[in-house]
Amino acid sequence: MISILWVDDEIHHLRSHIRFLEKRDYRVLTAPNGKMALEVLRDNQVDIVLMDQMMVGMDGLETVSSIRRNYHALPIVMITQSEEEELMDMAIGSEVDDFLTKPVNPSQILLVIKKLLMGDRLKTQKAAREMVDQTTRLMEMRSHEMNFRDWIDFYGSWVEKDVASEGAITDEMKTLDRYRFGEMELDFSRFVERSYPLWVSGEDPDTPLMSHNFLERVVVPQGDSSPELVLMVIDCMRYDQWLTMAPQLEKWFHIETDFMLSILPSATPYSRNSIFSGLLPRDIWRFYRKMWDENYGDPGLNKHEHFYLTEALRRLGFGRSIEPDYVKVSNRREGEMLIHSLSRHLKNGFMALIINYIDHLTHGRSELDLIRDLAPDVSSFRKLAETWFKSSFLRDLFHTLAARGSTVIITSDHGSVFTSRETRIRGRGVSGSIRFRFGTSLSADPKTVISTGDPARWGLPDDRPSKSYLFARSDYFMMFPSVPRDEMYKFRNTFQHGGVSLEEMIVPSIVMRPKSVK
């Protein structure tokens, strides 16, 4: 039962209001002055305070100040006959949560109580029901073969509602319909399994924006209209993490949001090389065979990106410098150095920039128990990334770019998925990560893993006979039968990438144009 403390020196005039609330199962405590209100708070559990301003002895504002010394989160509503703006300002400055002017009717009181105590919960429940209904409608469309835009709408709506509710909607959706939502994730992998070979072959006229066509379809068209253009790839950034950054940039930029599909494997050596080369991994290997190295984990796997970018922009007819500027930033010191040297980097009007911090944070969470304890789930990890951004060099960099009038294109090479279920695989000469593998004689449960026996058809290198790839579906991670159970603990409930999930493959594609400063 919700408990209300109503503080008013004429409380006997409010009996009808109190009875109205009690009939709706609210418990109403009363106090005729500020001193007695503090005594009631010491002896009772109170959920919200309704506070009169004009009282004998301590007035409302003085009582609020006294309450706030010990009760920082307790909602307080000021109720007064005065409509003076100065009093409203003072009340807000005293950390009052809402302000009503007398006379008030019972419905006004009920509304403000619901808004302050149950508003977030009611919004979350409504949003969760909407997402469950949307999920049901989409599952009924299976026979009609949903297109990529349908998946974008579903994923974007889900993430936006989850971020707005600070993670509560995902828990609520699982409570309402855990099975159905899990099936949607698996169904997305089946959609990719059907469609991906058609996309990479160019047979589908509705091929989505993907890593290998991002330069041609997004970057090059901006070249003619932007005096200064920055292509920024934020490694391993998910859409929900971007949504925590965007509100802090809206005052400086006009932001246009779209989505890109990461190629497979949704891992940096493949997807980021594909972005900068404008080619599928199969074609990078065919055209630049001496540069391609598929030994996953080798720190040199992305060492040719600058070369690939130069060649791609020349091939695509990009009307800027033949030798584009290219910078990687992995820490604050490098970021601050970049800000101080922007004029040099943008002297030809174009710069490609890689930001590695979120990728470092993601891998650090998997390897360090301290970060895992600080961010045990998706919502808390998102908040950790948001906290970093608020005081980071990257925020300062955006501000400086906006002041210069630079257009900024932002994307990610891939996102990450929170893995929770293991699946067993077999094979020889196997390499890769726990979300994707390649080798020979590979086998796995087709319900949990996509198996590709024709790499070239999937845009992947077919550099040896009998080579195949495995991609984990949904939130599965792949393990050999010989791996001990305690070894699996290190990978369960970690953020991984390389496989097929909404969170890994659907990444933001953002164009930000600076707002004019008057």
CB 67 within 8 A of CB 44: no
| Cα separation, 151 vs 135, whole angstroms | 10
Residue 447 lies in a domain: yes
Q: How many CB atoms lie within 10 A of CB 152?
A: 16
H/E element holding 97? none
Q: Is the pLDDT of residue 91 over 80?
A: no
Write down the pLDDT at residue 488.
75
Residue 109 lies in a domain: no
Stated length of the chain: 518
Residue 110 lies in a domain: no
Whether 385 and 253 share a structural domain: yes
Write down the pLDDT at residue 432.
77
Residue 189 lies in a domain: yes
Strand order in the sheet with 421-432: 449-452, 467-472, 436-444, 421-432, 476-479
Whether 250 and 343 share a structural domain: yes
Higher-scoring residue by pLDDT: 345, 1: 345
Whether 285 and 384 share a structural domain: yes
- The CATH number linked to 253 is 3.40.720
Classified as helix, coil or strand, 29 is strand
Whether 394 and 342 share a structural domain: yes
Whether 355 and 223 share a structural domain: yes
Residue 485 lies in a domain: yes
Classified as helix, coil or strand, 294 is coil
Strand order in the sheet with 253-261: 253-261, 506-514, 407-411, 229-234, 350-355, 325-329
Residue 140 lies in a domain: yes
Among 177, 201, 225, the domain-final residue is 201
Q: Dig out the tokens for 425 from the structure.
A: 């695989």
Classified as helix, coil or strand, 513 is strand
CB 328 within 8 A of CB 306: no
- The CATH number linked to 40 is 3.40.50.2300
Nearest-CA neighbor of 410 among 264, 280, 255? 255
| Cα separation, 411 vs 392, whole angstroms | 18
Q: How confident is the model at residue 99 (pLDDT cuts 50, 70, 90)?
A: confident
Write down the pLDDT at residue 175.
54
Whether 180 and 329 share a structural domain: no
| Cα separation, 321 vs 191, whole angstroms | 40
Q: Is the pTM of this model over 0.75?
A: yes
pLDDT tens, position by position, 409-443: 999 999 999 998 999 999 887 787 899 999 888 99
Instruction: Kindly provide the residue ranges of all beta strands, DSSP E only, lying in 235-276, ordered along the sequence.
Output: 253-261
pLDDT tens, position by position, 247-306: 999 999 999 999 999 999 999 999 999 999 999 999 999 999 888 877 755 556 788 999
| Cα separation, 72 vs 79, whole angstroms | 19
Whether 139 and 79 share a structural domain: no
Question: What's the Cα-to-Cα distance from 383 to each of 243, 358, 380, 463, rounded to whole Å?
Answer: 11, 12, 5, 42
| Cα separation, 61 vs 66, whole angstroms | 9
Nearest-CA neighbor of 421 among 448, 381, 452? 448
Q: Whole-angstrom distance between the N-terminal and C-terminal Cα of the chain?
A: 53
**Of 54-58, 84-88, 304-308, 341-345, which range is least confident?**
84-88
Whether 189 and 304 share a structural domain: no
Whether 440 and 464 share a structural domain: yes
Q: What are phi and psi of 48, to 5 degrees?
A: -155, 150
pLDDT tens, position by position, 167-188: 665 665 555 445 566 788 898 9
CB 474 within 8 A of CB 182: yes
Residue 468 lies in a domain: yes
Write down the pLDDT at residue 483.
78
Whether 76 and 135 share a structural domain: no
Q: Dig out the tokens for 476 from the structure.
A: 């599965």
Number of domains comprising the chain:
4
For residue 400, what are the β-bridge partners?
none
Q: Domain of residue 434: give its range.
A: 418-497
User: Which string of DSSP letters, residue by residue, matches 181-226?
Assistant: HHHHHHHHHHHHHHHHHHHHHT--TTPPPBGGGHIIIIIHHHHTT-
pLDDT tens, position by position, 125-170: 666 666 666 666 666 665 457 889 989 988 898 888 888 777 665 6
Whether 77 and 52 share a structural domain: yes
Residue 222 lies in a domain: yes
Question: What's the Cα-to-Cα distance from 284 to each of 277, 289, 412, 460, rounded to whole Å?
Answer: 8, 7, 19, 9
User: Which string of DSSP letters, residue by residue, matches 360-389?
Assistant: HHHHHHHH-HHHHHH--SHHHHHHHHHHHH
Whether 246 and 369 share a structural domain: yes
